C-alpha cells in the first residue's frame, strides 16, 4: 500500500522536512517560538521556501535567535545584517526583529515564558482542523486577528493577521494538515485503529 500524500505544498526537500518535522507540531520552547516569529515576519511578501533555504544563514546571522542578544542589537549590527547576502536584507524587517525581540522579552517577564502567553489564547490546546483541500485553508481567522491585535498593542512589527495565522500553524497552535495527510491527527486516529 502506498503512503498517503502529504499536504500539496510540501514538494521539495526543504518544505518536506519542515512539513514532516515542525509544521503543526505543538512547540513550547521559547527560543524556537521566537525564531519562527522572526522568520514569519521576514517571509512577508516572499515564499516560505525562500526563508527555509536561508534559515541556516539566518540562525548564524541572528545569534541562533537568542532573544536577549537580538534585543540588544546596535544600529551598527543592523547595518551589518543588511550587507549579509545569506539572509533577507530588508532594513525594516531587520529593525522589526530587534523591536520584536524586546517585546518578546517583556512578555517573558510578564508571563514567565512566551510559551505561557501564546498558548493562553487556546487554553493550551491546539486547534485541529480537518480541511479536505488546500483551497479551504484560510489565510486568517478570528484567533489570528486576536493574537495579531495583541502583538500590535505590545509594539510588535510585521505581525498582521495573515503572518500570525501562518505563525500559529508553524508552532502548532493551529494544525492545518489536510484530511488525507498522514500528519493530520484526525487521519492518524482513523487509519491507525
Q: Spot the catalytic one: 9, 14, 22, 48.
A: 48
Cα 100 to Cα 141: distance, rounded to the nearest angstrom = 22
Of the candidates 7, 28, 44, the residue with the CA atom closest to the CA atom of residue 129: 7
Q: Is 136 annotated as catalytic? A: no
Give the three-state DSSP class for 73.
Answer: coil
Q: Which residue has the cell 549590527?
A: 77
Cα 175 to Cα 25: distance, rounded to the nearest angstrom = 7
The per-residue b/e assignment along 45-73, b for 16 or more CB within 10 angstroms, e otherwise, is eeebeebbebbeebeebbeebebeebbeb
Q: Is 165 annotated as catalytic? A: no
Q: Spot the catalytic one: 23, 35, 40, 119.
A: 40
Cα 33 to Cα 39: distance, rounded to the nearest angstrom = 10
Q: Is 73 annotated as catalytic? A: no
For the record, the C-alpha cell of 44 comes out as: 512577508
Cα 34 to Cα 31: distance, rounded to the nearest angstrom = 5
Give the three-state DSSP class for 164.
Answer: helix
Which residues have a catalytic role annotated?
18, 40, 48
Amino acid at each position: 500500500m502506498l503512503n498517503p500524500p502529504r499536504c500539496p505544498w510540501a514538494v521539495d526537500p526543504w518544505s518536506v522536512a519542515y512539513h514532516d518535522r515542525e509544521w503543526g507540531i505543538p512547540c513550547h520552547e521559547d527560543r524556537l517560538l521566537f525564531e519562527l516569529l522572526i522568520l514569519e515576519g521576514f517571509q512577508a511578501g516572499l515564499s516560505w521556501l525562500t526563508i527555509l533555504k536561508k534559515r541556516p544563514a539566518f540562525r548564524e546571522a541572528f545569534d541562533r535567535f537568542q532573544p536577549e542578544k537580538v534585543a540588544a542589537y546596535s544600529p551598527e549590527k543592523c547595518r551589518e545584517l543588511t550587507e549579509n547576502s545569506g539572509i533577507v536584507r530588508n532594513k525594516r524587517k531587520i529593525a522589526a526583529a530587534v523591536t520584536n525581540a524586546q517585546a518578546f522579552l517583556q512578555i517573558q517577564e510578564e508571563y514567565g515564558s512566551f510559551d505561557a502567553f501564546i498558548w493562553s489564547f487556546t487554553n493550551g490546546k491546539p486547534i485541529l482542523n480537518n480541511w479536505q483541500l488546500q483551497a479551504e485553508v484560510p489565510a486568517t481567522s478570528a484567533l489570528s486577528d486576536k493574537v495579531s491585535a495583541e502583538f500590535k498593542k505590545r509594539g510588535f512589527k510585521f505581525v498582521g493577521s495573515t503572518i500570525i495565522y501562518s505563525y500559529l500553524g508553524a508552532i502548532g497552535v493551529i494544525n492545518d494538515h489536510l484530511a488525507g495527510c498522514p500528519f493530520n491527527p484526525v487521519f492518524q486516529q482513523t487509519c491507525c485503529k
